[in-house]
Amino acid sequence: MPSHAGTQPTDALITAERLNRVYHRPRTSLTRPGAAVHALRDVSLTVRRGERHGIVGESGSGKSTLLRLLCALDQPTSGSIRFDGQEITGRPERRLRFLRENLQIVFQDPMSSLDPRMRVRDLVAEPLTALGLPVGDRVAELLDAVGLPAEAAGRYPHQFSGGQRQRIAIARALAPRPKVLVADEPVSALDVSVRGQILNLLADLVDELGLTLVFVSHDLSVVRHVCETVSVMRQGEIVEGGLVDDVWAEPAHPYTRELLAAVPTLEGFA
């Protein structure tokens, strides 16, 4: 569903307002405090139900910081985030159940996001057991949905290729039937030859399940492949945003033009 002007505010699923996040580097001198890093500056963002929103920007622009705040894995220094109408900032973990059930994350590197000592069956079931939800036939269903054979359930992450491990991570994220999938550079650690397959899988699943997607990448051509809207980040600020095809065709900000000039176009898939 494209985001369009005139949409009712109730369509907003995630609303972030004036987010700031200041990190304090460890002090390296007895006389001076550690340097402050202003990772986000007054960032406001709305993601509507069913929207596939990309966040693009160079390394260090604040993409992962913003994503961690949206997932309540970190707290902003100031600002507000509402998920489905409920404020999530400042809440203790025990009051974030609605968010944990409805928003799941796929990280960049499946090798470090999947516990190597756990079998795939348990990895995929873990979000369900953690939330006290029944597992039933869900693991088999999910492995099938991500294109892995049923026998994968009994194996360990190291017995799979990088692309297959990211399929496991996607199956795991989908386990509690979330409304929102959040992905932080989900293909950049993968071999170039499998990136397209994993992006296509993600796009197909988001489509079939009617999910809302928040997708971070440093590469606008990757964002364009899976998202309809985009925010461009630079030095902790959103400098440009809108429909990804418009930004791609006519970038308004010089920084976006630089980003576009720097990215190789994706090959191997339409």
Ligand X SMILES: Nc1ncnc2c1ncn2[C@@H]1O[C@H](COP(=O)(O)OP(=O)(O)OP(=O)(O)O)[C@@H](O)[C@H]1O
Looking at residues 206 to 235 of the shown chain, list those that interact with ligand X (rule: CB under 6 A): 218
For residue 202, give the nearest of 254, 145, 269, 268 by alpha carbon. 145
64 binds Mg ion, rule: CB under 5 A: yes
Of 3 and 65, the one with the shorter C-beta distance to Mg ion is: 65
When binding is defined by CB under 6 A, the residue of 64, 113, 164, 212 that contacts ligand X is 64
Shortest separation between residue 108's beta carbon and ligand X, angstroms: 8
Of 3 and 65, the one with the shorter C-beta distance to ligand X is: 65
Shortest separation between residue 73's beta carbon and ligand X, angstroms: 11
Of 48 and 63, the one with the shorter C-beta distance to Mg ion is: 63
Write each residue from 107 to 126 as x if it is in contact with ligand X (CB under 6 A), else as -, in one continuous string: --------------------
When binding is defined by CB under 6 A, the residue of 60, 147, 162, 176 that contacts ligand X is 60
186 binds ligand X, rule: CB under 6 A: no
Amino acid at 71: C
Amino acid at 27: R
Residue 263: exposed, middle, or buried by beta-carbon count in 10 A (0-12, 13-18, 19+)? middle
Instruction: Count residues near ligand X (CB under 6 A).
Output: 13
d(CA 221, CA 56): 10
Give the one entry of ligand X, Mg ion, none that residue 256 binds, where binding means its C-beta sits below a cut-off of 5 to 8 angstroms depending on kind: none
CA 225, 229, 234, 236: dihedral to nearest 10 degrees?
-120
The H-assigned helical ranges of 77-161 are 97-102, 110-113, 120-130, 138-145
Give the one entry of ligand X, Mg ion, none that residue 241 binds, where binding means its C-beta sits below a cut-off of 5 to 8 angstroms depending on kind: none
Shortest separation between residue 196's beta carbon and Mg ion, angstroms: 21
Of 107 and 160, the one with the shorter C-beta distance to Mg ion is: 107
Please spell the DSSP secondary structure of 168-219, one letter per residue. HHHHHHHTT--SEEEEESTTTTS-HHHHHHHHHHHHHHHHHHT-EEEEEES-
39 binds ligand X, rule: CB under 6 A: yes
Residues that bind ligand X (CB under 6 A): 23, 25, 37, 39, 57, 59-65, 218
